[in-house]
Amino acid sequence: MKDLLILPILIPMLTAMITLLMGDGLRNAKRWLGGIAIAATLGVSAYLLSMSAGGEIVTYGFGDWPMPFGIVFVLDRLSGLMLTLTGVLALFAYVYAITGPDTKGPSFHFLFLMQITGVNGSFLTGDLFNLFVFFEILLLTAYVLVVYGSGPARTRTGMQYVFINLLGSSLFLVAIGVIYAVTGTLNMADLAVKFAQVGAADAMLVRASAYLLIVVFAVKAGLFPLYFWLPHSYAAVTAPVAALFAIMTKVGVYAILRSTTLFFGPDQGFVENLVLPYLLPVALVTLVAAVLGAVSATKLRTMAAYLLLASIGTMLAGIGLFTAAGISASLYYLLHSTLIMGALFLVADLVSAQRGPDVRDSFVAGPKIRQPLLLGVFFCFTLIGVLGLPPLSGFLGKAQILAAAVASPWQTAMWATVLLTSLLSLVAAGRAGTTLFWNTSDTLETRSSEAGWKSLPIAGLLACVVLLTVFAGPLTRFTEATANQLLERTPYISSVLESP
């Protein structure tokens, strides 16, 4: 059954190639083909998640090369969870896309499917070089998706996006080059062994390259002060792309979590607990800066992008506790945040469309929304989830993170920061709702259309959030088991290095 590990990459990649060969025509055929591929990828991911639920770590070595020299995919609870989350988000974002946004430029289906390929590969790969490769796949497609549909705003933000991520990729390549020169390996499990054996003569090189890696992962996650490129980039892209991008920041979070628990953790010589003193305070600063950005935002999509960053700060603060309770709470909150932020970007697009091209989602008085009841319900439900208000899973996730901080020296700082920023976020959301739904003229925007089929993927994402709330108990037990598996790294190392 280990051969199934290649399917979350193989299915979307091969389908993407087929859609590219189909040329610019056959749009409906591409839509059906892409939808079937994403649904199949989700089905395989869900099955892999069930395989990992018992705690078994499954490896797939390409070409039967002995470890640590061969390319290897590794499935554990964390990678299974992230694959399934990606599949759920991608499916609903794709359904929204095929209602019209996929017609705004060429090769949308190819780019969307390759984006999924890069994300899934990042979650499965067991070595740093292939993590770099999959980072580049998802970034190359993201470069095009950022400017998809053209326009001066997208072009400007696209150039900024390309520059900062090319810089990050360059640093990533330098870091893994130095690590390979010193340790002779890039296999993550083997690095967990080799870092502990590095001599004093190579200590500075190893620490410098390790810090470079963390900086690269922080750029992908959107940590302060490396997030300045993200809000305007996410606000400028088309709605389904922004929804899918909600998982891209989680790739950075995943990389930070995987590296800090596997080879930057305890007993790792000169890179022991490398980010322990920094991650939690930087995460709290990110949370504060992001919420201040949301308060000062002048457009709904910009506010949504800042709230996405705020969620990153919240979950990395939990991870920064470096306890099983903190990691477990952050993983549960990660599930909620990814789905609810995807829904918010889609809701923002509908609101923008129904207010017309003159004001769109700007926080200024404008025409009445054509479907105020439907979009009002979507908006309120989504913002309740984003802000972490009861009774939805966002509240449960934040409560778990705060509970995990009780025994930490950072308890006061975390409680004060999370509660204060939640209040400020509520102020920002209240201002947005009042302006968009109440501060309107008596006229109706005649150029807008009803939501129609576009409301279905939003309803689907919100239903998933409800399921996260209803099944919070079993999910929390799974995230607790995942956290314990991450902190007990010996089985991971043994499974990879002893695999045939």
pLDDT at 319 over 80: yes
Counting residues of the chain whose pLDDT is more than 70, the rounded percentage is 95
pLDDT at 333 over 90: yes
At 112, the pLDDT band (50, 70, 90 cuts) reads very high
pLDDT at 150 over 60: no
pLDDT at 12 over 90: yes
Q: Which residue has the higher pLDDT, 91 or 358?
A: 91
pLDDT at 133: 92
What integer is the mean pLDDT of 137-141?
86
pLDDT at 422: 93
pLDDT at 100: 81
pLDDT at 358 over 80: no
Tens-place pLDDT, residues 464-473: 999 999 999 9
At 444, the pLDDT band (50, 70, 90 cuts) reads low
pLDDT at 233: 79
pLDDT at 26: 83
At 451, the pLDDT band (50, 70, 90 cuts) reads confident
At 285, the pLDDT band (50, 70, 90 cuts) reads very high
What integer is the mean pLDDT of 186-208?
85
Average pLDDT in the chain: 88
pLDDT at 153: 62
pLDDT at 167: 85
185: tokens are: 């390996």
pLDDT at 154: 63
What integer is the mean pLDDT of 174-178?
92
pLDDT at 149 over 70: no
pTM of the model: 0.93
pLDDT at 196: 82
